[in-house]
Chain A
Amino acid sequence: NAGVTQTPKFRILKIGQSMTLQCTQDMNHNYMYWYRQDPGMGLKLIYYSVGAGITDKGEVPNGYNVSRSTTEDFPLRLELAAPSQTSVYFCASTQLGGTDTQYFGPGTRLTVL
């Protein structure tokens, strides 16, 4: 049971480039989330999904897109990278009910130059 895995761990992009951040969970959780964390700040919700085929915007969705074709995977797409997207990105999953624990991945550190 690997929990939540994210790839890559680090990435440097040039302005205008595109990339996909991968997130996979093996806990059969319905709910998945993407957050970004800027230095010294809390996490900001980008997008979330309540199940395969269902996604919705969070606090800061501009410049990002998501898809959820399977329960396990929730990729985050950056189409035209901008310096403002330099941040650490965390994926999380949870199965609501019980303690509603969110399990986080190790993060992807993205720099846009």
Chain B
Amino acid sequence: EDQVTQSPEALRLQEGESSSLNCSYTVSGLRGLFWYRQDPGKGPEFLFTLYSAGEEKEKERLKATLTKKESFLHITAPKPEDSATYLCAVQLAGGFKTIFGAGTRLFVKA
């Protein structure tokens, strides 16, 4: 069964305290792995797409990496405005179906 699991469920950081979020997946075939940010009451906002193991993408304080079994979203020196839910999603090969993880709620305290 295709599955996407994110950990931890929630993460509380002090401002400036770097950390990583994990997204592990078991799917029949991977077309791409996506990271989104979701603020309360809003739709997900696209952050990154990764297609192959070893690929890395960066945007401001965020860096996403991909292996054959998991992806990490590294947050360097986070600020309170980085507080949000971060969603990982896997698009399956051979079609257009996308499976989302449950998300990691990130809280950054000033």
Binding site for B on A (CB under 8 A): 4, 31, 33, 35, 40-45, 48, 50, 58-59, 90, 92, 96, 99-107
Contacts and interface: CB of A to CB of B under 8 A. Distances in A.
Interface residues on B, range: 20 to 34
A101 B49 contact: yes
A43 B97 contact: no
24 contacts: A4-B43, A33-B98, A40-B102, A42-B6, A42-B101, A44-B100, A45-B99, A48-B96, A50-B96, A58-B97, A59-B97, A59-B99, A90-B43, A96-B96, A99-B49, A100-B32, A100-B34, A101-B46, A101-B49, A102-B34, A102-B44, A102-B98, A104-B45, A107-B41
Name B's interface SS.
Answer: strand
Nearest to A104: B43
